[in-house]
Amino acid sequence: MHELSIAMEIVRQVTEIARQHHAERVDEVEVQVGVLRQVQEEALRMSFEAARDGTPAQSARLVVIEEPIEAECQDCGRRFAPEPDNFICPGCGQANARIVAGNDIILKSLVCQASDEAAVS
Ligand SMILES: [Zn+2]
């Protein structure tokens, strides 16, 4: 269940950031999840709730933002949104694209009680 390891990593980062900011409590955690990671939001939520016990994020709200896939053509430099099984460039017709977005899991921001907002991106 890979959502659990993702959730544990999120909680680890959140705990570290909360400590750096001397925050007692984290109210909101915003995470951007690339669609290519095939994370089930519901499973991630449940894992997050299990993983955060005893941390400053214990009562935090989890906000999940889906990041769409974006590819960049290596031949003409065009950026486009490919289908998962079709990476042919709409500009030049070459299948020589590189994924530039949609494959990451990023902790976007936290809302902590002690500080207003800690941007971590
Ligand atoms: Zn191209």
What is the pLDDT, as a whole number, of residue 117?
Answer: 55
Q: Are the C-beta atoms of residues 105 and 6 closer than 8 Å to each other?
A: yes
Q: Give the per-residue pLDDT at 42.
A: 95
Supply the pLDDT for residue 27: 95
Q: How far is the CA of 71 from the centre of ligand 1 (A)?
A: 10
Residues of the chain with pLDDT under 70: 1, 115-121
Q: Given this model, what pLDDT does residue 63 score?
A: 97
What stretch of H or E contains 98? strand 97-101
CA of 105 to the centre of ligand 1 (A): 27
- pLDDT at residue 118, as a whole number: 53
Give the span between the Cα atoms of 19 and 27, in whole angstroms.
14
Ligand 1 centroid to Cα of residue 87, in Å, is 10
